[in-house]
Amino acid sequence: MTSVHDTAVTTLAGDLSVWPASTAEPRPGDLAVGGVPLAEVADRFGTPVYVLDESEVRDRCRIYRDAFPDTEILYAAKAFLCRAMIHWMQEEGLGLDVCSAGELELAVTTGFPAERIVLHGNAKSPRDLESALRLGVGRIVIDSPSEIARLAAAVGPHGHQKVMVRVVPGISAGGHEKIRTGTEDQKFGLSISDGYAQHAIARILDQPQLELTGLHCHLGSQITSVKPYLAAVRRIVGLMARLHEQHGLLLPELDLGGGHGIAYRPGEQALDLTTLARKVRTELAEACAAAGLPVPRLIIEPGRAVAGPAGIALYRVLAVKRTGSHTYVAVDGGMSDNPRPALYGVRYAPRLVGRRTTADRAPVTVVGRHCEAGDVLATDVELPADVRPGDLLAVPVAGAYHLSMASGYNLVGRPPVAAVRDGHARLLVRRESLEDIRSRDVGL
């Protein structure tokens, strides 16, 4: 998705290539995003704080619409969700992919139309299903055989609900084994190879109140190659052909999920959306023609690729410690606001902002404030050798799976989210306060 940056990168240093397109350096050592200096955001809202470039989010939505003009595009809410993001998605013409009653109800109470929402999840709670049916969600993705009877009973004999079935195509793809979900022997979906998917589909067809509209798959996350998606298309169309032979079934939809990889550091590879769109369309048309099937409508579910590059995390340096051959730079956040490095080794490229320095760069490890040795935000990255307490560090590509995965560890409180656009900053999500934490603790 590098086309967002074409106009900005020509005027900026190469190490800003993973930053939002609006990033500028008005003075040496200063960075501004969306026309707002990051140092001003930190002073106004405190640190840690997440900064979300609204124009970058919207631009990425438009890139998807341009690349996939005949495709239903659903924003994967699990990446990051707040009321402003819901509003932006609605204005940009995207649907929503949610995986809980909480995400669903936040969307609908913000005014997002429920019929443009898809609910999925490997273990939907009774509340999830109740909310989906009460609010009139567009489709529910069935992930296990036990959901079929539960959902049919909840819908009732005279009700109606559109559903899809999440199938496992047996394809390994993704940046880490913990985020690969298209393979056998993991918790998501129903296997094609062992017949569980076909059996579940036959049971759904016996429930007249459930309308099967298509098949769903999600291969994993941080996929940077087009090939796994093409393999998934072939295998799913093969299943659709067998279903047509066995049941006379013509499914009008095929959901290929998301998992579109982005670059977290300069020089890393990102998935080429233009190539993905072109090759998937060709593969789908050819596979359906060979099987004698009409081409189903394609659905995709980008999340990280929309929100991730639009976000920046800002931290204050609290301490600089030299131990043996290592220098540790400790900041006022850490694994409670970004667990991804500890979970699956994600690497970032933090940058000193807010002051000019001519010091040489030296390798350091940026660590968090939490009581865990694994609380590391960035290992062996280069920062100015004179980095000191009080300095401001900015971490790009922080818009997805940071606040959405944040925890209450050490009771430090989750950071706020501020949006920037056209020289203005506004608060979207306030900081979690000690009073918020205390008010949940109701017993002695």
Q: Are residues 167 and 262 part of one domain?
A: yes
Closest CA to 138 of 96, 83, 89: 96
* Alpha helix stretches (DSSP H) within 292-368: 304-307, 340-344
Q: Are residues 241 and 302 in the same domain?
A: yes
Taking all residues of the chain, what is their mean pLDDT, rounded to a whole number? Answer: 92
- The predicted pLDDT at position 375 comes to 94
CATH of residue 353's domain is 2.40.37.10
Q: Say which CATH number the domain at 290 has.
A: 3.20.20.10
What whole-number distance in Å separates Cα of residue 432 and Cα of residue 414?
A: 5
| Domain limit, last residue, from 244, 275, 307 | 307
Q: Judge if 182 and 40 occupy the same domain.
A: no
Confirm whether 288 is a catalytic residue. no
- Domains contained in the chain, number: 2
Whether residue 341 is found in the same domain as residue 408: yes
Structure tokens at 330: 């400790």
Report d(CA 215, CA 244) in Å as an integer: 13
User: 41 with 75, same domain?
Assistant: no
CA distance 257 to 184: 17
Rounded to 5°, the CA angle 94-57-308 comes to 105
Check whether residue 66 and residue 190 sit in a common domain. Answer: yes
Tell me which residue range forms the domain holding 330.
2-52+308-440
Over residues 305-357, the pLDDT tens digits come to: 999 999 999 999 999 999 888 999 999 999 999 999 988 888 899 999 999 99
Range list of H helices, 1-141: 6-9, 38-45, 54-67, 83-91, 101-109, 126-135
DSSP string, 132-157: HHHHT-SEEEE-SHHHHHHHHHHH-T
What's at 407, amino acid-wise?
S
Q: What is the pLDDT of residue 343?
A: 87
Of the residues 291, 307, 323, which one is the last residue of a structural domain? 307
Q: What is the DSSP pairing of strand 95-98 with strand 72-76?
A: parallel
Res 220: pLDDT: 87
pLDDT at 208: 94
pTM given for the model: 0.93
CA distance 85 to 83: 5
Cα 290 to the chain's mean position, in Å? Answer: 34
Does 152 lie in the same domain as 45? no
| Partners of 253 in the β-ladder | 214, 297
Asked which of 272, 290, 307 is the last residue of a domain, the reply is: 307
Catalytic residue selected from 61, 99, 288, 371: 371
Both 384 and 266 in one domain: the answer is no
Average pLDDT per run of 10 along the chain, which is 444 residues long?
Answer: 40 72 94 97 98 98 97 98 98 98 98 98 93 97 93 94 93 51 62 86 95 94 92 94 95 96 94 96 97 97 97 98 92 95 89 96 96 92 96 97 94 97 98 96 91
Both 161 and 288 in a single domain? yes
- Tokens found for residue 203: 């049971």
Residues 119 and 98: beta-carbon distance below 8 Å:
yes
Q: Tell me the C-alpha distance between 171 and 186, whole Å.
A: 12
Q: Which residues pair with 141 in a beta bridge?
A: 164
pLDDT digits 0-9 by tens, 215-274: 999 998 899 999 999 999 999 999 999 999 999 999 999 999 999 999 999 999 999 999
Same domain, 299 and 324: no
| 279/425 same-domain check | no
Clarify whether residues 225 and 314 are in a common domain.
no
